[in-house]
């Protein structure tokens, strides 16, 4: 685990509403297909997956999931909506980019984050940067409260 400070990020994105799971994976595949068709999926492309709602608090039919490409300013207009993902400090965990690796991360998250000042008001980011994905690794960025970070 490492700690990273990220600035605000502009993303071009697609959103789905409904229970988390297989539908999120399908949206990710649809998004990557769209990027390929529009020549936007490059070696330096970073994709974020963002579950916006806590499934323990929000009914399944209202759970929102965004998949977005971080905009660097070099992309041609892509016809997708754009929004800002707030920056801040994040605990970044590298995870095997497999169904089992991702499931293990979510299962073990309470133990992994037990000593961290997690900011429960911001979503966890799934980060898929091409060099990491090529090595079969994805990253989970857990938001941290700014005021509690001294010594971390």
- Owner of token pair 């999926």: 41
pLDDT above 70: percentage of residues in the chain: 94
Average pLDDT of the residues in 27-45: 92
145 found inside a domain:
no
Helix (H) or strand (E) holding 77: none
Per-residue model confidence (pLDDT) at position 140: 97
Q: Answer whether 108's CB lies under 8 Å from 94's CB.
A: no
Average pLDDT of the residues in 42-51: 93
Q: Which of 9-13, 64-68, 96-100, 139-143 bottoms out in mean pLDDT, i.e. has the lowest?
A: 96-100
151: confidence class by pLDDT, cuts 50, 70, 90:
low
Per-residue model confidence (pLDDT) at position 75: 67
148 found inside a domain:
no
- Note the Cα 145 to chain centre separation in Å: 18
- Owner of token pair 């399908």: 26
Q: Is the pLDDT of residue 152 over 60?
A: no
pLDDT in tens, 116-142: 999 999 999 999 998 898 899 999 999
Query: For residue 52, what is the domain's CATH number?
Result: 3.20.80.10
143 found inside a domain:
no
Q: Which residues pair with 67 in a beta bridge?
A: 14, 49
144 found inside a domain:
no
Average pLDDT of the residues in 102-128: 94
Per-residue model confidence (pLDDT) at position 146: 81
pTM over 0.75, yes/no = yes
Per-residue model confidence (pLDDT) at position 78: 79
Number of folded domains that form the chain: 1
84 found inside a domain:
yes
Average pLDDT of the residues in 70-94: 89
Q: Which domain holds residue 22?
A: 2-137
147 found inside a domain:
no
């Amino acid at each position: 685990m490492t700690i990273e400070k990220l600035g605000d990020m502009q993303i071009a994105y697609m959103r789905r509403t409904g229970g988390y799971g297989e539908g999120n994976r399908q949206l990710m595949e649809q998004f990557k297909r769209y990027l390929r068709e529009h020549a936007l999926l490059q070696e330096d492309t970073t994709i974020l997956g963002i579950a916006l709602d806590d499934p323990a608090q929000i009914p399944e039919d209202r759970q929102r999931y965004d998949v977005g490409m971080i905009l660097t300013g070099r992309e041609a207009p892509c016809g997708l909506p754009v929004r800002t993902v707030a920056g801040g400090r994040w605990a970044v965990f590298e995870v095997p980019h497999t169904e089992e690796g991702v499931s293990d991360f979510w299962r073990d998250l309470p133990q992994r984050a037990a000593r961290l000042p997690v900011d429960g008001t911001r979503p966890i980011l799934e980060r898929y940067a091409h060099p990491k994905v090529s090595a079969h690794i994805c990253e989970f960025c857990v938001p941290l409260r700014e005021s509690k970070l001294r010594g971390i």
